[in-house]
Chain A
Amino acid sequence: MNQREVPLIFEESVPGRVATRLPDPDVPDVPLEEIVPKESLREKPPEFPEVSEPEVVRHFTWLSRRNYAVDLGFYPLGSCTMKYNPKLNEDAAKLPGFSRLHPYAPEELTQGALRLMWELERFLCEISGMDRVTFQPAAGAHGELTALMMVRAALEDRGERRTKVVIPDSAHGTNPASAAMCGYEVVVVKSDERGNVDIQHLRQVMNDQVAALMLTNPNTLGLFEEHILEIEEIVHAHGAFLYLDGANLNAMLGITRPGDQGFDVMHFNLHKTFSTPHGGGGPGAGPVGVKDTLAPYLPIPTVERDGERFYLDYDRPKTIGKVRAFYGNFAVLVRAYTYIRALGAEGLREVAETAVLNANYLLSRLRPYFDLPYDRRCMHEFVLSGRRQKREYGVTTRDMAKRLLDYGYHAPTIYFPLIVEEAIMIEPTETETRKTLDAFADAMQRIAEEAATNPDLVRSAPHTTPVKRLDEVRAARNPNLRWKPA
């Protein structure tokens, strides 16, 4: 990784330089004030840097070399499914027929795009056992919010005003945040000693004020909910909806379908399960799948087919409305569509099987060195605890995660789920070789040994990265969120 500090682009600015040559106006010269009154014109231009094209290219290229990425190596980040992002997907999304298509172009000019969306909706329905899908949500959390809005609309349609959403203590933070944004009070249901939802506790918290249970399955411990059928019965007996956070769908492709487990509504993370790149934090896509009972409430428009013609349908009287402009992160949909067509049914099942195989293999390799709070067969990911290292050597999970950076890996997800002390959450995905898994396991083993024999080395890690541990307290206490000239 590039150790050389890269100056801020503003610090490279030299007056007079340009990186893009624009034409002079080819229309008649009219005094600006005749077009726009003077008081509406900007007095002082924005202080953008003045640099030449080669400088722009070197600046961002050098910055890119101060980044870790899936293209560079293993990214065992639990709950994020950092699988390889196929290059064909990128080329597909760049085709001008997709990338240069205006969202309000007339219907006859958008038939290829609409067909792709229509077919992708059928694929996701088949994979999930849902009846309809909306592509509008831009991310998983956006999907959660959209789904809860539909639940709320359906309940109001039944004349019910329920006030609560039940969420397991192991859930992603987005679940309670989405519930709050939809005006719901959050009720937490505990996990049992096997890492499942505590059925007794679920019975206690369920009542006719509960709109939905938001469940992640396999859950964030990487474990399949063993009592899924019982949960489904309890939730539906109270007239509530069963929601699936589809973050962990990778383990289920072709094996079992949320729709068949009794889920009424779910979101997909195309940027996890369906291989679209994370882009350093986005864009993603969080389509929501629903059973027919919720279909009337889907955001507008939906994509429909009439013979050989595809069209957008805005005439849906019970719709919740829109959660963003236009139709969704279309270029992300192109990538997911390409991925599904590349693998087909057979390949997707092999994805799930291999993801689960790789996780269990890595778990077997790491089990001797770390605590395993929930000792079960895992699905696509597993959660270790660094509590032994913390207790015995004063080395925390954060320290060990930082030490992994020295070994050339991205760190696992740490301190999540919240119910595991010193949690280390590892998801290898199906796209890694056995050699990579072995090398990573060796590194983890060495770090466990270092924690015992040379704890200071681990506590002061990382040592080989472009910067060492950063002062986060200072960053938060005196926020410096933009550059200013000295």
Chain B
Amino acid sequence: MAFQYIPVTEEERQEMLRVIGVDSIEALFADIPQSVRLARPLNLGPPLSDPELWALLRRLADQNGHCDRYTCFLGAGAYDHYVPSVVWHLAGRGEFLTAYTPYQAEIMQGELQAIYEYQTLLCELLAMDVANASMYDGASALAEATVMARDLTKRDRILVSRAIHPEYRQVIQTYTRHLGMEIVEIPLREGVTDLDAARDLLSEKVAALVLQIPNFFGCIEDGEAASEIAHKVGALLVVGIADPLAMGILRPPGEYGADIVAGEGQPLGNHLNFGGPYLGMMATRQEYVRRIPGRLVGATVDVEGRRGFVLTLQTREQHIRRERATSNICTNESLNALAAAIYMVALGKQGIQKVAELNLRKAHYAKTRMVEIPGFSVAFRAPTFHEFAIRCPLPPEELNRRLLPHGIIGGLPLRRFYPELADGWLLCVTEARSREEIDRFVDLVKEVAA
């Protein structure tokens, strides 16, 4: 059988074996002991032709209820934003898609320049000095940020707000468990981090105070106050982000003294993809650049003085420093970072403000309308961006079940992560939701809750 991805013909195979000086393919595998050879064909089913395979994949995809078929009010770390057509037309070009890491800089200037532009755009958005070329996702980026804070301060204790995405907190636990680090959770007060409790927990043993802004409940935390109390004891302020679009309108972490910003870049032009690939964002201050994990692109010149770009400060990385590297990360999420760069450019200076404002206004409208329904109320008073928690007169799980036949994916029942908030429903309204959809949603909630 001829396979479409394997060009060598039987005739060529025989000639090549002759050049090698063996009489069979089998002879090439002589170093593998017979006792560990697989004596049967793999049980994987027959190869499928292209049309058969396409039909199978469409069947599988059609079994899923995606955000073009359903109206989505679910966020919680993955956001349904509008992605301009240019983003994946450009990021999907074979020259970007099928390239390797740009170690051979002379023939990879396109990739390197695009990532340098990504780093610049992210620095602008977050008001930070330096951003790396990406981490795996928001959760692992935030976990690596805590390790970086430990390395910078030589202190082992990390204060982590309970208002950080629960899965991010789980990943911080997993990453730090074997490194002699101690994770202390800061309790909630009214849906935001209890900064009085944080102040009591802060000491000269603490490496970092870690907050998410806006937090998991969509609430905007007081970054300024957090920065002040952390820095007073020489701890770093690490800010986690689940949706960087918020920074189009909200005060960016660099402006209130964040030392490390880490979080999820998916909302910047990347699709929901059932959870991945997304991209981890990581940014810091200039003075900490030699402790940042991951790849960095820098500008330089070639031997003729022309501007060019290279991977730089590589002595931080595993392929040079091995067990003394700042992280083990090698493969990152470059293509997703490229998409994020194209997205930020496509929005431009006006668009980033406008899209953030649309999120803010639409969510505010939805929140205002939701609490007009008898029995529903706002869970927390703090201002919110595009997510907000609502207290419901019946279990949110039940509401979701009743809304689904109407083509609506409801919010996240908070009970899943916060047992004490069993009547809490986390709703998300992005710029992709129209007023008509919001009104229909509110009317249906009223109807199914009655």
- B421: CB under 8 A from chain A? no
With a cutoff of 8 Å between Cβ atoms, the chain B residues found around residue A66 in the complex are 108-110, 113
In this complex, the interface size class of chain B, counting residues with CB under 8 Å from chain A, is 35 or more
Return B440 CB to nearest CB of chain A, in Å: 13
Assess whether B5 is in contact with A430, with CB atoms less than 8 Å apart: yes
- List, in ascending order, chain B residues with CB within 8 A of A321's CB: 170-171, 173-174
With A39-B224, A99-B273 as known contacts, state yes or no: A25 contacts B351, CB within 8 Å.
no
CB distance from B303 to the nearest CB of A (A): 5
Query: A19 near B347 (CB under 8 angstroms)?
Result: yes
Question: Nearest residue in B to A47 (C-beta to C-beta)?
Answer: B124
Q: Does B187 contact A (CB under 8 A)?
A: no
Answer whether residue A158 sits at the interface, using C-beta atoms and an 8 A cutoff.
no
CB–CB B299/A67 < 8 A: no
Query: Is the Cβ of A109 less than 8 Å from the Cβ of B70?
Result: yes
Chain B residues with CB below 8 A from A469, complex form: 106, 302-303
30 examples of A-B residue contacts, CB within 8 angstroms: A18-B348, A23-B431, A36-B250, A42-B248, A48-B351, A49-B349, A56-B86, A57-B89, A59-B345, A101-B274, A109-B409, A138-B276, A138-B331, A141-B331, A173-B322, A183-B178, A279-B334, A279-B336, A281-B332, A281-B334, A324-B276, A325-B139, A329-B273, A358-B8, A364-B20, A410-B107, A432-B7, A481-B116, A481-B119, A481-B312
- In the complex, what distance in Å separates the CA atom of A219 from the CA atom of B394? 59
Query: Chain A contacts of B274 at CB under 8 A?
Result: 98, 101-103, 110, 113, 326-327, 330-331
Stretch from B204-212, B227-235, B289-297 forming part of the interface with A:
B289-297
Which one of B21, B67, B95, B295 has the highest number of Cβ atoms from chain A below 10 Å of its Cβ? B95
- Complex Cα distance A224/B107, Å? 33
B residues 57-74 with Cβ under 8 Å of A? 57-70, 72, 74
* Chain A residues positioned under 8 Å from B110 (CB to CB): 2, 6, 62-67
Of the listed stretches A236-244, A346-354, A444-452, chain B binds: A346-354
Interface flag for A287 (CB, 8 Å)? no
- How distant is the Cα of A22 from the Cα of B357 in the complex, in angstroms? 11
Interface size on A, residues (CB 8 A): 202
State A325–B178 Cα separation when bound (angstroms): 20
B349 x A50 contact (CB < 8 A)? yes
* Contact present for A324 and B137 (CB under 8 Å): yes
Interface locus among B41-49, B153-161, B190-198, B371-379: B41-49
Mark interface residues in B71-112 (1 if CB within 8 Å of A CB, else 0): 010101110100010101111111111111110111111110
User: Which of A87-95, A200-208, A288-296, A386-394 forms contacts with chain B?
Assistant: A87-95
Report whether B328 and A174 are in contact in the complex, using a CB–CB cutoff of 8 Å.
yes
Query: Considering only CB atoms, which chain A residue lies closest to B400 in the complex?
Result: A106
Please name the 6 residue pairs, one residue from A and one from B, whose CB atoms are nearest each other, closest first: A97-B61, A326-B275, A109-B65, A112-B63, A279-B335, A71-B94
Taken together as a complex, chains A and B put the C-alpha atoms of A462 and B106 apart, in Å, by 8
A48 and B41 contacting across the interface, CB-CB below 8 Å: no
Q: Is B36 an interface residue (CB 8 A)?
A: yes
Of the listed residues B61, B67, B89, B120, the one surrounded by the most CB atoms of chain A closer than 10 A to its CB is B61
Instruction: Give the docked Cα–Cα distance between A206 and B327 (Å).
Output: 26
Cβ-based interface call for B402 (8 A): no
